[in-house]
Chain A
Amino acid sequence: MDATDKEILKNIQEDFPLAETPFADVARRLDLSETELISRIAALKEAGVIRRVGAVLDAKSLGVATVLCAARVDQERIEEVAGIVSSFRQVTHNYQRDGDYNLWFTVWGKDEQDLERTVGEIEAQAAVWVTRLPAVKTYKIRAVFDLT
């Protein structure tokens, strides 16, 4: 990743033009040709730096309920349990972490009831107790990275 790539990433994480020719618009900002910009973005995707380009939706505005969950899983069961947890399409993040609570995952549901049903199903299928840590207040969600 060179300086131009970093500059591109800075410009397309936020202020991505919602316009008919967005790449040409960004290219103009950065004094690149549209073709070069597109091929660099393609390379960054290929390298796994960019996961996708698109909309990040706000769960709350859509009425969607989400919860952070934590479980204490025996070391010898961690892969099995993690596999069951990940198999739910409502689970978006699932990490093994240091500590007594060693499996952390986030679950969403169409509403609170749907969410609780899913978490209950995870508990039953994985045979673990799941501690629910719902957010009371959100101070910041900003998955944008300053690379310079």
Chain B
Amino acid sequence: MLSFQEIIFKLKQYWAERGCIIQEPYDVEVGAGTMVAETFLRVLGPKPYRVAYVQPSRRPADGRYGDNPNRLYKHSQLQVILKPSPADVIEQYMGSLEAIGIDLRQHDFKLEEDNWEAPTLGAWGIGWQVMLDGLEISQFTYFQQCGGIDLEVVPAELTYGLERITAFLQVKDSVYDIDWTKDFTYGDVRYNDELQYSVYNFEMAEIPTLWKLFELHEGEAARLLQAYDPKSPDKRRFPLLPTYDQVLKCSNLFNTLDSRGAISVTERQMVIQRVRKLAVGVAKAWTDQRQEVAQ
């Protein structure tokens, strides 16, 4: 039986053999692997790219104090970007499942319509949820737009829910019981994260402080974006990647405020728009900056 980390090794190996750069997780907190610049910015423009990385993804509202066997504040996504998407991309994906020991002749594999959309990123795509014996194990998306920009080259994004796949393979009813290694369970490694972040996100995060932080990061991102000059001869030096970090900070603070119940539904739309505006601004500037570099 493969451990959690062996499954990760095998998947990384599989995609490395297919020309992917294996990146380490990004070091700013995000809600999904898509938000990392390796996806969000790299899918823009005409340049081919192939990358795979495991991204711990934080969703404050999904925390359950470590009590719920299926729901996590922080879960691990394996994010694969194939740009442009190869014609046999689904076959390649199925091959990756075989590589971790799933014999697809013995299992029910289905692709069910599920189009993906991330309003805070101005991004959407067409695709499916991948169902294995009735369990959603991956999201498969052909990106169409990112940062409000129609993509020149269409990438395929494969997102594996690693905890779910491992629980499936190890036949465990609770994510906390899965073997991270042969000596340590997932619970040994992550239970404290789940408990303590739930307490923080639901009970102790100070709302005015979070708002203040949100506004500080928002202000910094906006200030930088305003300073970006497309006509400047030196524009390739301009720190758009750090600007984008500020946007990611905003996004995570927004999610935390949301889980804290601090955002009414009406406000919600407005805050999403504020983050989206920054993300779109970075995507536009980035596209402009890359064009220059390409020339």
Asked if A pairs with B, the answer is no
